[in-house]
Amino acid sequence: MPTKNQNPDVDDITPRPASMVAALRSIGYRLETAVADLVDNSIAKHAKNIWVEFSWRGDASTITIRDDGIGMSEEELIEAMRLGSHDPLWDRGSLDLGRFGLGLKTASFSQCKVFSVLTRKHHHDPVWRTWDIDYVIREGKWILRRDINPAAAADAQQLANQSSGTCVVWQTLDRLVGKVSIDDEIAHKAFLESASRVGNHLGMVFGEYLFGKDSVAIHVGRTKVERWDPFLATYDTQIAEVERFEVKGHCVSVRPHVLPHHSRMTKKEFERAAGPAGWNAQQGFYIYRNRRMLVSGGWMNLGLTRDEHMKLARIRIDIDSGSDFLWQLDIRKSKASPPVSLREDLRRIARLTRSRASEVYRHRGQKIISQGGDVGKKHDLWSLERIHDKVRYRIDREHPLVKSLIEEGQAGRSVNALLVLIEETIPAPTIYIGYAEKPSEQALPFETTKEATMRRILQDLFLALRESGNTVEQAQATLARMTPFDSHPQLLAELDEFDRQHENQARE
């Protein structure tokens, strides 16, 4: 029933707290995106240090997010605790990372049923307030508590040693921890693992704040959060020219990056370069607003798939804070959608970057395979054969060496039978899984072969070609078009001398 109202022309229907709370709790925050929303607030209020603490006490465990920013007065705190404390259409300062006036409340409610905010301004005593979901539901009103649980106050005690700052304490972590005892080892381990997940996420989305002149230090427990740079600036990443666009008076800049192949870094570096969500998920667009990463990978519904071969493609987009609405930024600030007028350009840039990325990947990873008729001048041992809708890899019977071996009667037929066996039994699924899951452990062709072994193989091939009637020059020219000898001219040059020695030995 609508409530009675002085104005007979309208009905005042205030939302019911119980259903509003349930809806607000289900916006879809993950723990790490929720913490990031609070870190946004701290950075916007000039914090230089942010401390995230995970305190394990079974079902009484807490997470605190404390900063040394400018803090709030009591009036400001009460206003900050209001759902929708700001009009989202207000112009925000260019450094303000907020938008909706909701983040503090929705992010906190998504993780816990009770949260307290303690804050102090310079030359003022700390003040605090508590939102308690069960209390709100019981009372049927949005009533903010003036008290605080003593354990939560103890978690925030460091604030007393600061001249200003704010501390948010999440209590009753019903989603992350639930009803568990303090001795529950498995729950304890999961709790600590979530702390490291949060650290990785913060290192990614606030990476640009973690270094340089106005840097901010973020600590998760005792660990200082390290920056994760999706573009591997310290490696030889290919960086294309920046393209700038204007959308309704707002500037957008787009800069494609193609990361180096994994063979250019150590296994550890390659694993770290993958990012918190892994190589495949982290390809695509990265949207930044005020140095804050909003979107971390993905192709933004432009009709492009995430593909193993595209994983080296990462494209940076910078937008200004006034263009949130044009990009349909969501409440959690982790999803955005490009303005219609930019979609075609972004698709074009994405396609180009993807094709460059797949070139890097293919060139370094699949040197010995050629596609169908695309043999060119090179002698490739493997070729791709398409029969109806099936594809398979074949050892090319026209390859000079193969040809010379299979032409010789029964011996030739045996070699051919062996080749068919090899072709039919290549452990393709195992190879595929290896490349997908542990690409840095897959050796490139001849990567681990010693030079002496390579020389011996080359000499054997050379002799086989000579025996089938090739001159020294012809044999050399043929071998110069085969991987890997095409990149070893010095070994090919030695073949003249080798041929002479071999002739002499044969004569003796």
**Chain residues in the site for Mg ion (CB under 5 A):** 41, 98, 103
Q: CB nearer to ligand ATP: give 64 or 353.
A: 64
For residue 108, the minimal CB distance to ligand ATP (Å) is 9
Q: Write down the residue that tokens 């770290």 correspond to.
A: 272
**What one-letter code names the amino acid at 158?**
Q
Choose among ligand ATP, Mg ion, none what residue 230 binds, the Cβ cut-off being 5 to 8 Å by kind. none
Q: Burial of 335 by CB count in 10 Å (0-12 exposed, 13-18 middle, 19+ buried)?
A: middle
- Contact letters for ligand ATP, residues 147-186 (x by CB under 6 A): -------------------x--------------------
Q: Which stretch binds ligand ATP (CB under 6 A): 80-88, 220-228, 363-371, 424-432?
A: 80-88
Q: Which of 20, 58, 95, 101 binds ligand ATP (CB under 6 A)?
A: 101
Q: Which residues contact 223 (CB under 8 A, 6 or more apart)?
A: 196, 199
Distance in Å, CB of 132 to ligand ATP, minimum: 17
Burial 89-126 (b: 16+ CB within 10 A, else e): eeebeeebbbbbbbbbbbbbbbbbbbbbbbbbbeeeeb
How many other β-carbons are positioned within 10 Å of the β-carbon of residue 316?
Answer: 18
Closest to ligand ATP by CB, 104 or 349: 104
- When binding is defined by CB under 6 A, the residue of 54, 61, 68, 98 that contacts ligand ATP is 98
> Is 100 among the residues that bind ligand ATP (CB under 6 A)?
yes
Integer CA distances (angstroms), 213 to 209, 210, 216, in order: 9, 10, 9
Cβ–Cβ < 8 Å for 315, 254: yes
Residue 378 interface partner, choices ligand ATP, Mg ion, none, CB cut-off 5-8 Å depending on type: none
CA-nearest of 288, 370, 280, 372 to 336 is: 288
The residues in 19-78 that bind ligand ATP, with binding defined as CB under 6 A, are 37, 41-42, 45, 67, 69, 71-72
Based on the shown chain and the rule CB under 6 A, indicate whether residue 126 belongs to the binding site for ligand ATP: no
Residue 99, interface with ligand ATP (CB under 6 A)? yes
Instruction: List residues bridging with 119 in a β-sheet.
Output: 127, 166
Q: Whose Cβ is closer to ligand ATP: residue 168's or residue 315's?
A: 168
Q: Measured between alpha carbons, how far is 264 from 10 in angstroms, rounded to an integer?
A: 69
Three-class DSSP category at 438: coil
For residue 104, state whether it binds ligand ATP (rule: CB under 6 A).
yes
Give least dist CB 336 to ligand ATP, A: 13
- Give the burial class of 146: count Cβ atoms within 10 A of its Cβ; 0-12 exposed, 13-18 middle, 19 or more buried: exposed
* Residue carrying the six token digits 């095409």: 486
50 versus 312: smaller Cβ distance to ligand ATP: 50
> Residue 504 and residue 283: Cα distance in Å, rounded?
59
Sole binder of ligand ATP in the list 31, 80, 156, 482 (CB under 6 A) = 80
Note whether 102 binds ligand ATP by CB under 6 A: yes
Give the count of beta carbons closer than 10 Å to the beta carbon of residue 246.
9
Q: Closer CB to ligand ATP, residue 155 or residue 380?
A: 155
CB of 40 to ligand ATP, least distance (A): 6
Instruction: Please say which residue, 149 or 164, places its beta carbon nearer to ligand ATP.
Output: 164
Which residues contact ligand ATP by CB under 6 A? 37, 41-42, 45, 67, 69, 71-72, 80, 85-86, 98-105, 166
